[in-house]
Amino acid sequence: KAGVTQTPRYLIKTRGQQVTLSCSPISGHRSVSWYQQTPGQGLQFLFEYFSETQRNKGNFPGRFSGRQFSNSRSEMNVSTLELGDSALYLCASSLGRSGQETQYFGPGTRLLVL
């Protein structure tokens, strides 16, 4: 079974721009979660989607948004990029039937904001 895939793998943007990241979950998984990882803050939860609905959201500003499509693929968008948005963005998928399931991570998208 193919794993979680994320595109693009690397991105360089400048302050003020916006960016869209994509995540395709493991086949059969309906839940997609997004995390931001930085050296200082570690892994921080952004949001989780299941059946095209956001079920939970972390403490990030409204510049961070996401959506999920009917095929469970998910995108996250960051508008008006700031230098502090430079990070590794990880998505993880799970079956989504309960909150106790294992989440499997994709390879991540490394975003650098200049």
Partner 1 sequence: QKEVEQNSGPLSVPEGAIASLNCTYSDRGSQSFFWYRQYSGKSPELIMFIYSNGDKEDGRFTAQLNKASQYVSLLIRDSQPSDSATYLCAASGGSNYKLTFGKGTLLTVNP
- 108 near partner 1, rule: CB under 8 A: yes
- Region 6-65 residues binding partner 1, contact defined as CB under 8 A: 31, 33, 35, 41-45, 48, 50, 55-56, 58
Give the separation between CA 42 and CA 73, rounded to whole angstroms. Answer: 25
Phi and psi angles of residue 88, each rounded to the nearest 5 degrees, phi first = -95, 125
Give the separation between CA 28 and CA 61, rounded to whole angstroms. Answer: 31
Q: 22 vs 104, which CB is nearer to partner 1?
A: 104
- 74 near partner 1, rule: CB under 8 A: no
Q: 17 vs 110, which CB is nearer to partner 1?
A: 110
Q: Which of 15, 20, 36 is nearest to 81 (CA)?
A: 15
Give the separation between CA 34 and CA 38, rounded to whole angstroms. Answer: 13
Token pair of 95 as six digits: 């079956």
- 99 near partner 1, rule: CB under 8 A: yes
**Which residues of the chain form contacts with partner 1 (CB under 8 A)?**
31, 33, 35, 41-45, 48, 50, 55-56, 58, 88, 90, 92, 96, 98-108
